[in-house]
Amino acid sequence: MSRRQFYWLQYTVVLLAIFLILLASTGSDGLFAFALQPTKLGFYPQMVVTMLVAAGPDLLLMALGAYQLKQTNYSFARLVRYIITIIGGITLFSLIYYVYGLATTQQLHHFNSATFFSELVQGPFSTYDTLYGIIAFFVTLPILRVVAKHADAMTIKYLVIVELIFVGVFPVVGYLFGLSSIYINLPVALQGGAFFPLMGYWLVHTDFVRKITREQLLIAWILSLVCYTIMIAVTLYQSVLEGDFGVIAMQNFTQTFQAIPCLTFFITIETFILNRPLSTKHRLRPTNFLRLSYGVLLITGVVLAPLKVILMDLTPYLGPFIGSLIWVLTTILISYLVAMVLSHIAGITKLFPSIFMDFTEAHNNEIKDSMD
């Protein structure tokens, strides 16, 4: 795969991932509004969408792993600076979100820094749970690079199978047999912040995708449909059992068999790009979306809530689902424009590290990457 092809692969996957992440964050007034009216005709199609959006964070980590795990090892000092920078950005924009929430509820006089930091440590604000996963990725980056570069084909297959058993089969079977949860301390490689980056790396830097046939890709899509069917069935079973379709918004089972659909999405996009010649007319601009994508993720966490007025205005005419789509797309566009402006401010731009391929790298000569 050439660098330009890899750039467009990342661009496509990251943009799709951000869109899905934000769509999943629209809440009961947006994407999940259908759960309040289970008798409506659009209930089941929108139920499928709730499974699809859960792939957002995983696809983002796959794109991240495909790039970062191939890079030369960072020095300890540089890696620490990277992690501190990411934490600093999350803290700053979480503070903005926190203050905005207090201001809109006229509780600004109750602001307490100790309370803010306590809540920040306990869990992410807004849409920042994905960014916490990015922190976890960089913390384990040196270990993941060793695993990525020395694993053979059998190890990769084994990891996928074990992921499906421990993350998919056990939780579902346990719930169906009356267990609220099964307490298993998963190995590092099975955690979302490790498994999906490793898969992204292997799919790009091995010849697996080039060898895959149309029939095999079709089988992958059929398996993905089976996975979604299982997740939907278990979610509906929980809703009926508890007598509350609102639990759909909790997405308790959307990650159980998400590995197969995510791998299928990624492989399909990569196959399309590999089979499509890129014209030299595809010029990359210095202020491109991929370079600023981490900054866009930070800004969307702040911008999404104020722009909810779009959803409220459109819902009576277009319904909550279409309204959510327009709300999310508008949020991404505005966040990108804000990121472009902030990227020219020296102090702020340091909070927007380029964690994906920089546009200048895509102009280098084509390279072939293979796993020993």
pTM surpassing 0.85? yes
Split at pLDDT 50, 70, 90, the class of 362 is: low
Higher pLDDT, 113 or 332: 332
- Residue 23's alpha-carbon distances to 46, 50, 165, 298, 332, in angstroms, are 12, 9, 28, 15, 11
Q: What DSSP state is assigned to residue 276? A: S
Lowest mean pLDDT among 80-89, 146-155, 178-187, 216-225: 178-187
Buried b (16+ CB within 10 A) or exposed e, 257-292: bbbbbbbbbbbbbbeebeeeeeeeeeebeeebbbbb
pLDDT tens, position by position, 237-250: 888 888 878 788 88
pLDDT for 368 equals 43
Say how far apart CA 21 and CA 28 lie, in whole Å: 15
Say how far apart CA 296 and CA 292 lie, in whole Å: 6
Q: What is the mean pLDDT of residues 164-184?
A: 77
Count of CB atoms situated within 10 Å of the CB of 94 = 22
Split at pLDDT 50, 70, 90, the class of 182 is: low
Q: What is the mean pLDDT of the chain?
A: 85
Q: What is the mean pLDDT of residues 31-38?
A: 80
